[in-house]
Structure 1
Amino acid sequence: VLVIAIIAGAAYYMVAVQPFQRVILSVGDDSVKTGYFLKRMVASQGMTADSVLQSLTAELIIRQQAAAMGFPAVTAQDISDYLRNIAKGENETISDADYDKWFQERLDTTGLTAQEFNKVIEGEILAQNVQDTIGAQVNPQVPQAHVWIIVLDTQENAVSAKARIDGGESFDAVAKEVSLDTTSKENGGDMGWQVPELFSTQISSVIDTLDIGKCSDPVAFSQQDSTTGTTATSYLLLMVSEKSAAMQATDAQLSQLKYKAFLDWLSAQEASTEIVFHGLNGS
């Protein structure tokens, strides 16, 4: 009977336990097991497996680099304060009973244990600390350009619109007539002062090299619909009416520049870190 029980226990472990203990992702010296990955998939509520893996990779890299950068450890009080601030919403305070109820609802929704949930929050706090530190190094005086745009659905229409502008028609008149960009069409395609760095590399390169008052060649721009997942391609005509080598960024632009600096930093860390996806069967 004992032998049968041992065999049955071993079989149960092999089928029901061991698969969840396999490592699915390695980031440097840290790893993620399949069981935790599946929990995070459930907690993510709709994120794809690739997105969850990317998120876990970023969390581990930030955790590693935060320690290397000398950030103090996140305390239980830090986590409690962070969560209570979220839980109270627009209220000034939240009672212990209401907070405990809110916290339990988060656990029920995500399927995570209290320890696992707090670990996720610890990662969010570390990420914010790193992001704030990197953002503080961003210079608010940045190159800017006064940009005008015409958006069209086909290359043929873009070529036709450019021919009209090159033939003497004003950019703003053509924009008001044919542009599909509802935010700038009524203003003749005027987008105001923009930070080229915040556009895609392709578009920023066009803006940086475009002569003042000249219409660009059509620029193909593809964008994925977050709802349907389909990709649509538009064709842009760009014009720059003014340029400044250093102009004070607006609060919104500065916020975007800081976040971009953080993402660039994170990409650099990922490139220099050994990251291995072991597959859903783990290792």
Structure 2
Amino acid sequence: MAKRKPEQPQQSKQPIQTKRRIARFQRDEKEKQKATYILGAVLALVVIVLLGGLTYTFLIEPNREVAQIGETTITLQDYQNRVRYERYLLDEQMLLLQSQFQQFMPSLGDQPELKSQFEQQFQYQLSQLQSMRLSTDISALDSLIEEEIIIRESAQREITVSDEEITQAYNGIAVARKGGYTESQAEETVTARKNATATAEQFPPTPTITGTEILTPTPILPTPTINTLEGESLDEALTEWENTMRENTSMTPADLRKIVSRQLMRNKLSDSMGEEIDTTKLQAHARHILVDTEDEVFTVTQRLANGDDFASVAMEFSKDPGSAQDGGDLGWFTKGTMVEEFDNVAFSLPVGEISEPVQSEFGFHIIEVIAREERPLEGSDLDREKINIFNNWLLEESAHAVKSWDPRDAPPEATPSFPQSQ
């Protein structure tokens, strides 16, 4: 009997890797790698965009130039902080004005005419502040430009502001907001009041005659208490002010001290330049009669033509409360003091002549030029001339600034918290 071959163990069948399957496998692997690379690239791009956006928002954009004065650059961050600062100060002034109006109005009682005049004055002041606030996007940049010009000129003149001066003024602002004084301010106030009292003793008040013809001296009011803030009270006032400004304007104490320093330097430079001006200037001495209607003009001119005294006619007809009782006399004044229409006549009409009626925003003026000559400036005229010269110089220098500012650079406006005019 023939022997059978032993059976071989059956081997498991392996799939046969054809060329087609191998190619598909390799293709799938490449697609997976490609997808991984694309995903990685997208994630990297997102990270780059985020980092780039953060870098632009917090590093590049705040330091973007909005103006250049010489070698000094004004950045967007400086500009936006100043806009917020000026807006906030004007908001405070408007709220204070409204508060004073509401407190004072009831005290006028049943006086409709006086109430009407007071309300008109309030609305006028409020509209002025609102107009200033609406232009802070421009005025803030102008202020920064002027400050850089002042710093440069002050350096050339070796004008400096000490840390002590800055601290004294800085503290003064903080305590003034609390209705008080610093120690140095209190000393100055006491000295000023003592001097005023000494002057009053040298020139006692004119007594008034009562109905019983008894001479009654004007009563002397008690000296009000001076509220001095120092030590912890001063520290609290400073902390409150600094926190308020940081919250509402993004200004740090260092920023606020810089503003105070620049204001002090502005004052010193203005005084320095004021000492250099020619204090002698052409001035006119004139008097006028102010009336409202053409009928009144006719009456006044006829009276003057008939030889009536100018001063007497002015006292009878002039609507100018400041000069009517003085016969229309305005004293000496420089060109630019009066409205343009009046000025043009006062500085061109021959001395001793009476003008034709001149119309201005106040009404009709009949003007007589009494004299015109070069005279030394005094008092308010001298102060006004110093201010005009300083402001004109600043205006000329500011024209050299290079502005790259755009209206969209102004920080977003928050919901208005200031009162609206009626």
Q: Quick check: 35-44 or 179-188, which moved more? A: 179-188
2:336–2:343 contact (8 Å) kept in structure 1: yes
Aligned residue number for residue 138 of structure 1: 277
Offset of residue 161 of structure 1: 6.7
Aligned residue number for residue 245 of structure 1: 374
Offset of residue 123 of structure 1: 0.9
Q: Distance in 2 between matches of 1:194 and 1:8?
A: 66
Aligned residue number for residue 166 of structure 2: 79
Aligned residue number for residue 38 of structure 2: none
2:357–2:366 contact (8 Å) kept in structure 1: yes
Aligned residue number for residue 407 of structure 2: 280
1:84–1:94 contact (8 Å) kept in structure 2: no
Aligned residue number for residue 167 of structure 1: 305
The one-letter code matched in structure 1 to 2:403 is V
Q: Distance in 2 between matches of 1:41 and 1:8?
A: 29
Offset of residue 219 of structure 1: 4.5
Offset of residue 143 of structure 1: 3.6
The one-letter code matched in structure 1 to 2:64 is R
Relative to structure 1, the CA distance from residue 278 to residue 236 in structure 2 (aligned partners, 3 Å threshold; closer, same or farther) is: farther
1:158–1:235 contact (8 Å) kept in structure 2: no
1:34–1:280 contact (8 Å) kept in structure 2: no
Q: Which of 241, 259, 265 is the equivalent residue of 1:106? A: 241
1:162–1:217 contact (8 Å) kept in structure 2: no
Structure 2 unmatched runs, 5+: 1-42, 91-132, 176-180, 188-227, 410-422
Q: Distance in 2 between matches of 1:41 and 1:266?
A: 20
Superposed, 1:25-174 pairs within 5 Å as: 25-44=67-86, 45-46=89-90, 47=133, 48-49=135-136, 50-72=138-160, 74-85=161-172, 87=175, 88=181, 90-92=185-187, 94-110=229-245, 111=249, 112-152=251-291, 156=294, 160=298, 163-164=301-302, 167-168=305-306, 169-174=308-313
User: Over the residues paired in the alignment, what is the CA RMSD in angstroms?
Assistant: 3.4
Q: Distance in 2 between matches of 1:102 and 1:261?
A: 37
Offset of residue 91 of structure 1: 1.8
Structure 1 unmatched runs, 5+: 223-232
Offset of residue 117 of structure 1: 0.8
The one-letter code matched in structure 2 to 1:258 is K
Q: Distance in 2 between matches of 1:217 and 1:37?
A: 51
For residue 91 of structure 1, give the secondary structure of its aligned residue in structure 2.
Answer: helix
Among all aligned residue pairs of Structure 1 and Structure 2, give the percentage whose two residues are the same amino acid.
21
Aligned residue number for residue 229 of structure 1: none
Offset of residue 113 of structure 1: 0.9
For residue 267 of structure 1, give the secondary structure of its aligned residue in structure 2.
Answer: helix
Q: Distance in 2 between matches of 1:263 and 1:38?
A: 24
Offset of residue 127 of structure 1: 0.8
For residue 257 of structure 2, give the secondary structure of its aligned residue in structure 1.
Answer: helix
Q: Distance in 2 between matches of 1:55 and 1:216?
A: 43
Aligned residue number for residue 258 of structure 1: 386
Relative to structure 1, the CA distance from residue 80 to residue 213 in structure 2 (aligned partners, 3 Å threshold; closer, same or farther) is: same
Cα deviation, 1:202-236, whole Å, max 9, x if unaligned, reads: 644432222223233455546xxxxxxxxxx6554
Q: Distance in 2 between matches of 1:3 and 1:163?
A: 86
Offset of residue 83 of structure 1: 2.6
Cα deviation, 1:3-54, whole Å, max 9, x if unaligned, reads: 5444323334545765543333333332322332222222223332233233
Aligned residue number for residue 397 of structure 2: 269
Q: Distance in 2 between matches of 1:269 and 1:28?
A: 11
Relative to structure 1, the CA distance from residue 218 to residue 119 in structure 2 (aligned partners, 3 Å threshold; closer, same or farther) is: farther
Q: Distance in 1 between matches of 2:291 and 2:72?
A: 48
Relative to structure 1, the CA distance from residue 152 to residue 37 in structure 2 (aligned partners, 3 Å threshold; closer, same or farther) is: farther
Q: Distance in 1 between matches of 2:364 and 2:242?
A: 46
Relative to structure 1, the CA distance from residue 10 to residue 264 in structure 2 (aligned partners, 3 Å threshold; closer, same or farther) is: same
Offset of residue 2 of structure 1: 6.4
Q: Distance in 2 between matches of 1:25 and 1:162?
A: 57
Relative to structure 1, the CA distance from residue 234 to residue 266 in structure 2 (aligned partners, 3 Å threshold; closer, same or farther) is: farther
* Structure in which a larger fraction of residues adopt strand: 1
1:162–1:215 contact (8 Å) kept in structure 2: no
Q: Larger Rg: 1 or 2? A: 2
For residue 186 of structure 2, give the secondary structure of its aligned residue in structure 1.
Answer: coil
Runs of 4 or more consecutive aligned structure 1 residues displaced over 6 Å after TM superposition: none
Q: Quick check: 261-270 or 88-97, which moved more? A: 88-97
Cα deviation, 1:221-270, whole Å, max 9, x if unaligned, reads: 46xxxxxxxxxx655443222334324x4333322222222223323323
Task: State yes or no: 1:21 paired with 2:21.
Answer: no
Q: Distance in 2 between matches of 1:261 and 1:53?
A: 21
TM-score by length of 2: 0.53
Q: Distance in 1 between matches of 2:252 and 2:71?
A: 24
Relative to structure 1, the CA distance from residue 162 to residue 70 in structure 2 (aligned partners, 3 Å threshold; closer, same or farther) is: farther
Offset of residue 133 of structure 1: 0.8
Relative to structure 1, the CA distance from residue 213 to residue 161 in structure 2 (aligned partners, 3 Å threshold; closer, same or farther) is: farther
For residue 123 of structure 1, give the secondary structure of its aligned residue in structure 2.
Answer: helix
Q: Distance in 2 between matches of 1:17 and 1:235?
A: 61
